[in-house]
Amino acid sequence: MSEVITEVSVKSEEKKDGSLPQLVMELTTTSLCDMKCTYCFEGEKVEKARFSDYDMLVEKIKEIRASDFYKKFSGISLNFWGGEPTLNWKYIKAITAEYRHDPDVVFHLYSNGYNFKNLQRTLSAFVDPDFEVPFNIQERVFIQISYDGLTNDIFRISSKGDTSQNVMRSFQHLVDEGYNVHFKSTLPVASFKDMYANWCHFRDLFYKYKDNRNARISFAPTIDYTQKACDIEDYQGTVELFKEQIMKIAKEEIKFYKENKEFLLSWFNTPITPHKTNCSAGVNFVSIDGEGDSYACHGAFYAPNKEELKSTSLYSENFIEELSTFNQRFEDVLDYVPEGCQGCSATYCAVCPVALTENSKKVGLIDRWTDRTAHGLCGFYKPFGLIHRAMFKYLNTLDL
């Protein structure tokens, strides 16, 4: 078999295959939401407004594409963010109408998938018969549905209930209509004990949708990093439970890989590299909130230090200059590995830099942004890395 382990170092200005990355523009359609997830980091921290200044947004996108700043990118991904983006489906329809004929623009929708009616209204933006030329939704539209698996109804709640049933109804519709769709999960510490059970649930979904290649089924969880936990001790002895669950998953992943030549837990798809690449937020991200202000990423909208993570505003006369200067600061450290991280056993490392800027005791913004050890999540990623490496070492001995 070809080696499972790969050693890859990707430069910030180009992707692994040598092509330029897309510029990701996250557009906040609204801060409103129709669910009350227990781990939501938005809460009441944002204005309950729907963005509507389409003309100004389109003007600034034109400025970006005509600038030297844009020469680092191959195209634009317009990502619709919220709240729940589909609560402002008219916004999505207006922006889609502007760029649906532009092959250098793709669309990405984040959604909880709960309100099927609103989702259908939103999808009409991509298949509206009033538009002269329809486009290939499989090449141009990508949809992420928030779904935690068996624990979904525990943490992702609504006053009306049946969140999982509604989500799966929406997912099935998206699959039937041919959209590129995948799930993204949140992993609260309280659900660590259910990681293996959730992995098995997503494995069942994988086989159910295996022949639908536009439905990309994986177990792709993100540990809830919003709680105030700067040291692993703050997680109250959950490391052993976490390791136990990962070990059970790893044993099943070996069987899964033998059959499917891919891994189900997305973390195992991370190349084992000499160093960890930092989050690209602030480099190829332009995240615009409901007021038209631009930040390093959408996580900055809710940070107590959000002002230092603000790059510019759609209404600034120096929009491009301010955006380019801000992004360059982060590009300079994209491949930087802090001294405390050199030689780290972790392979997958998803410590949010916005959370680091809040937790770190260092002074400068960039020093705090890259201070990965300023959050207790390292205590989980290090043992995962050891298990990850051992599993790959074993797979490399097999003749698959």
Residue 158 pLDDT:
83
Q: Where residue 356 falls among pLDDT bands split at 50, 70, 90?
A: confident
CA-based R_g, the chain, Å: 21
The per-residue pLDDT for 389 is 94
Whole-prediction pTM value? Answer: 0.90
Residue 143: pLDDT band (50, 70, 90) is very high
Determine which of 103-112, 134-143, 178-187 has the lowest per-residue pLDDT on average: 134-143
The whole-number pLDDT of residue 180 equals 94
Residue 43: the pLDDT is 53
Where do the structural domains in the chain lie, given as residue ranges?
23-187
Tens-place pLDDT, residues 246-286: 999 999 999 999 999 999 999 999 888 766 666 788 888 89
Q: Phi/psi at 312 (nearest 5 deg)?
A: -170, -165
Give the integer Cα–Cα distance in Å for 195 and 332.
37
Using H for helix, E for strand and C for coil, what is the string for 342-394?
CCCCCCCCCCCHHHHHHHCCCCCHHHHHCCHHHCCCHHHHHHHHHHHHHHHHH
**Tokens coding 237:** 């002895």
Residue 206's alpha-carbon distances to 124, 177, 219, 248, in angstroms, are 27, 18, 9, 18
Exposed/middle/buried for 363, CB within 10 Å: 0-12, 13-18, 19+? exposed
**pLDDT single digits (tens) 86-104:** 999 999 999 998 998 899 9
Q: Could you tell me if 149 and 219 are in contact, meaning their C-beta atoms sit under 8 angstroms apart?
A: yes
Least Cα distance to 359 among 304, 312, 293, 285 occurs for 304
Query: Of 281, 280, 286, whose CA–CA distance to 65 is shortest?
Result: 286
On whether the 23-187 domain is CATH 3.20.20.70, my answer is: yes
Task: Quickly tell me which residue has 């900055």 as its tokens.
Answer: 300
- Tell me: the pLDDT tens digits for 10-26? 333 455 455 788 999 99
Chain CA centroid to CA 121, Å:
24
pLDDT digits (tens, 9 = 90+) for 184-197: 999 988 999 999 99
**Window from 196-210, 224-238, 274-288, 302-316 with minimum mean pLDDT:** 224-238
* Confidence (pLDDT) at 134: 62
